[in-house]
Amino acid sequence: MKSVGTLAVVGATGQVGAVMRHILLERQLAFDRLRFFASPRSAGTFLEFDGHQLEVEDVETADLAGIDYALFSIGATASKIYAPRFAEAGAIVIDNSSAYRMHPDVPLVVPEVNPGDAAHRALGIIANPNCTTMIAMSPLAIIDRLFGLNRVVAATYQAASGAGRAGVAELSAQLERPNLGALTFDGGAVDFAPPVKFPAVLAGNVIPLAGELHDGDTSEEEKFVNESRKILGLPDLRVHATCVRVPVFTGHSIAIVAECQTPPEVGRLVAELDRHKGCQVVDLPTPMASTGIDPVLVGRIRLDRSSTNGVAFFVSGDNLRKGAALNAIQILEMLLQ
């Protein structure tokens, strides 16, 4: 693998940016220079990396000359402003936000699923999928290759960290309230502070509303539907999703029923999943077990006898690693091969 040259991490002080920094050290990427960028609010602070203190630069005013690759995690609004600036200055941008995922000239890439799409980057930008969509892609791609996909029905179980540090802080504060056991018989027994990041109290609860409502479906549900079709190269795939927030800190999970074109064989599917470097077949996939590791955990694999040619499974994956930072770095590694 060749050297990255000059690498920028844009949004380096954020939650995903911190995981990116950690994974860069883990995977020992070779680069000539590493630069950290953030909003003016964080500019001028220092971040430790491999024993060195690196100053965080202001993304609004910094000189962008000489940057070869840029890993972005600063949100869609900021990405729409700054990703084109980095690309115009000569960098290949790998963007973690929703800003460009459905743009026809921007590839949406999971390296284990559609690596060839990364070559078609007319704008100099490659998009990272939504963290929930990402968790499902490898198992669904394998099912499509083996048996053909006709329809996908998904119910997600999304962690608080998917809503950023504020989501984690809100759940943590709620879990610190005394006498949570009183909720056993009375849902109003504990006096919680009014929720801010989520539409209802998350501790001891599940919230069947993740994202903003758009004519009945939420933005998270729309992302799952549209991004799945684009990544898998199946524009007419029938997909339905219900996205749910659960009181878990990290690790998104999804219960999926896939209806296939030919009768699925569970043994053959398990064997293929076991061979796939992005998956690990386990008896009981849980978000806690998936947190901090690279592969997604797939289990509860069985035939769905209520549908024609249906197979059901449960998948858990670290939404900050494979769901965000790791996939971006894997795209970078793929470009360097």
Buried b (16+ CB within 10 A) or exposed e, 269-289: beebbeebebbbbbeebbbeb
**The pair of three-digit structure tokens given for residue 252, joined into one six-digit string:** 């998104």
Question: Rounded to whole angstroms, what are the CA distances from 38 to 12, 54, 185, 259?
Answer: 6, 12, 47, 44
Give the length of the chain: 337
Catalytic-labelled residue, pool 131, 243, 260, 279: 131
CA 195 to chain centre: 24
**Residue whose C-alpha is closest to residue 235's, from 115, 111, 104:** 104
Catalytic-labelled residue, pool 52, 103, 252, 279: 252
**The pair of three-digit structure tokens given for residue 329, joined into one six-digit string:** 């770095």
Q: CA-to-CA distance for 171 and 160, rounded, in angstroms?
A: 7
Whether 243 is a known active-site residue: answer no
Task: In the chain, count H helices and then E strands.
Answer: 8, 15
Amino acid at 77: T
Q: How many CB atoms lie within 10 A of CB 21?
A: 22
> Which residue is listed with tokens 């398990």?
270
What do you get for the CA distance between the two ends of the chain, in Å? 5
Question: Rounded to whole angstroms, what are the CA distances from 284 to 132, 204, 248, 272?
Answer: 19, 22, 16, 18
Catalytic residue list: 131, 252
